[in-house]
Amino acid sequence: MEFIRRSLIHCKRRTHSIGTNSWRCNYSVKKEKVPLAEGPFPRRVVTGLQPTGALHIGNYFGVLRRCVQLQDQGDDLMLFIADLHALTTYQDPSALQDNILDVAASALAAGVDPARSVLFVQSAVPRHAELCWLLACLASHARLAHLPQYKERAQNNKEVGVGLLLYPVLQAADVLLYRAARVPVGADQLQHLQLCAQLVKTFHHRYGRLFPVPQPLLPEDGCDRLRSLRDPSKKMSKSDPDPKSRILLTDSDEVITLKVRKAVTDCNPKVTFEPESRPGVANLVLLHCLACDLLPEEAVEEADGLTTAQYKAVVARALCARLGPMRARALELRAQPRLLRDVLRAGATRARARADVTLHDVHAALGLAPGSADRTLRAANE
């Protein structure tokens, strides 16, 4: 909990009040310098995690870990819990609330520091939805309907919700709202970011330059698409109906060991790293690498003489050791919902102020609601 303690000390210096309970903190945005609307764009990274379930190791190694590294290097990290995106499929309202707090606890446990970064829930900043509408007016239906994730779901369902079609536009709004130049994501999001870049170009062509063209940041160690443990042709996903397909950040050592033991490999007992021809075994090698900071050839060398069944025990032990401390922190934080809500509320206040500045410029560029934008900006700066 050292990082939260540091955050609280930091908050104490820059905010008015901290509750007597040391976990409760009233962050303030009053002293925050709202980024300039013109001139160079802020050194900012933005990304989102859907509260469609507890986070898994694909979310962690693919995105969350990178976010924390960027934060620690001095980047301005904005991490949001994408509850509006989650609504593209039905979510039980009380499960959604729980999942939001689960994701918040895991993000903090992974090292997101609310004194340096902004952690918030997407729906608490209505400007996301507003900018989504404005960008939707620049997007073509044919382009959206052509995106692979939409086509895949449209194939399997007779009635596809409009939300699913608009999802990538909302994603573009999430990024542009904060004028982020870089977006840490897994490989499944690349096409959505290409759409975002296209929308930026259309916007600039019609209304003038307001945004940086966002670049995706993929993890460099091969985990931009960790595979499902049960079907290595698919990526590991929160929404996969088989819970054994993913390892959650909150799984116990016993559960991790069981899931790794049940991971689908093939009938060759030798451990090799051949992602194309032996994706299940390569996935195990990758997990070993991620847990122990190894290169694939080093992991394969360590596995020399072991069968894949014996190697699974090595991988499981390595994962338990790597994830254990983070799980303990996440569980400790999850037991403090008021603290989590305070952090999210404070994050949303900061995010709203930044979003207001961007929308002020967008309104002015589009010729919308003369005068109202000025009032909004004044409110953001007060």
7 versus 52: smaller Cβ distance to ligand ATP: 52
Q: Least CB distance from residue 282 to ligand ATP, whole Å?
A: 14
Q: Least CB distance from residue 89 to ligand ATP, whole Å?
A: 8
Q: Which long-range contacts (CB under 8 A, 24 or more apart) does 352-356 make?
A: 352/124, 352/125, 352/127, 352/380, 353/29, 353/32, 353/34, 353/380, 353/381, 354/34, 354/35, 354/78, 354/118, 354/177, 354/178, 355/125, 355/127, 355/128, 355/131, 355/177, 355/178, 356/127, 356/380
250 versus 376: smaller Cβ distance to ligand ATP: 250
Residue 346 CB contacts under 8 Å (≥ 6 apart), including other chains: 25, 26, 27, 28, 29, 114
Q: Least CB distance from residue 184 to ligand ATP, whole Å?
A: 7
Q: Least CB distance from residue 280 to ligand ATP, whole Å?
A: 14
Q: Least CB distance from residue 286 to ligand ATP, whole Å?
A: 10
- Looking only at the bridges linking them, the beta strands covering 182-184 and 215-217 are parallel
Q: Least CB distance from residue 145 to ligand ATP, whole Å?
A: 19
157 versus 239: smaller Cβ distance to ligand ATP: 239
11 versus 223: smaller Cβ distance to ligand ATP: 223
Q: Least CB distance from residue 64 to ligand ATP, whole Å?
A: 8
51 versus 347: smaller Cβ distance to ligand ATP: 51
186 versus 279: smaller Cβ distance to ligand ATP: 186
Q: Least CB distance from residue 240 to ligand ATP, whole Å?
A: 7
58 versus 232: smaller Cβ distance to ligand ATP: 58
296 versus 377: smaller Cβ distance to ligand ATP: 296
Task: Answer yes or no: are the C-beta atoms of 16 and 337 closer than 8 Å.
Answer: no
Q: Least CB distance from residue 185 to ligand ATP, whole Å?
A: 4
Q: Least CB distance from residue 322 to ligand ATP, whole Å?
A: 16
Strand, coil or helix: what is 367?
A: coil
Beta bridge partners of 78: 46, 118
Contact residues for ligand ATP (CB under 6 A)? Answer: 47, 49-50, 52, 58-59, 62-63, 185-186, 188-189, 223-226, 235-239
Q: How far apart are CA 167 and CA 229, in angstroms?
A: 27
Task: Return the ∠ at Cα 114 (arms to 251 and 37), rounded to 5°.
Answer: 130
> What are φ and ψ of residue 199, in 5° steps?
-65, -40
Q: How far apart are CA 193 and CA 87, in angstroms?
A: 20
125 versus 223: smaller Cβ distance to ligand ATP: 223
225 versus 270: smaller Cβ distance to ligand ATP: 225
Distance of CA 333 to the CA centre of its chain: 19
Closest Cα to residue 95, out of 50, 51, 161? Answer: 51
Task: Answer yes or no: are the C-beta atoms of 228 and 237 closer than 8 Å.
Answer: yes
Residue entry with tokens 């299940």: 280
Q: What DSSP string describes 288-353?
A: HHHHHT--HHHHHHHTTT--HHHHHHHHHHHHHHHHHHHHHHHHHHHT-HHHHHHHHHHHHHHHHH
Task: End-to-end CA distance of the chain: give it in Å, rounded.
Answer: 33
Distance of CA 67 to the CA centre of its chain: 8
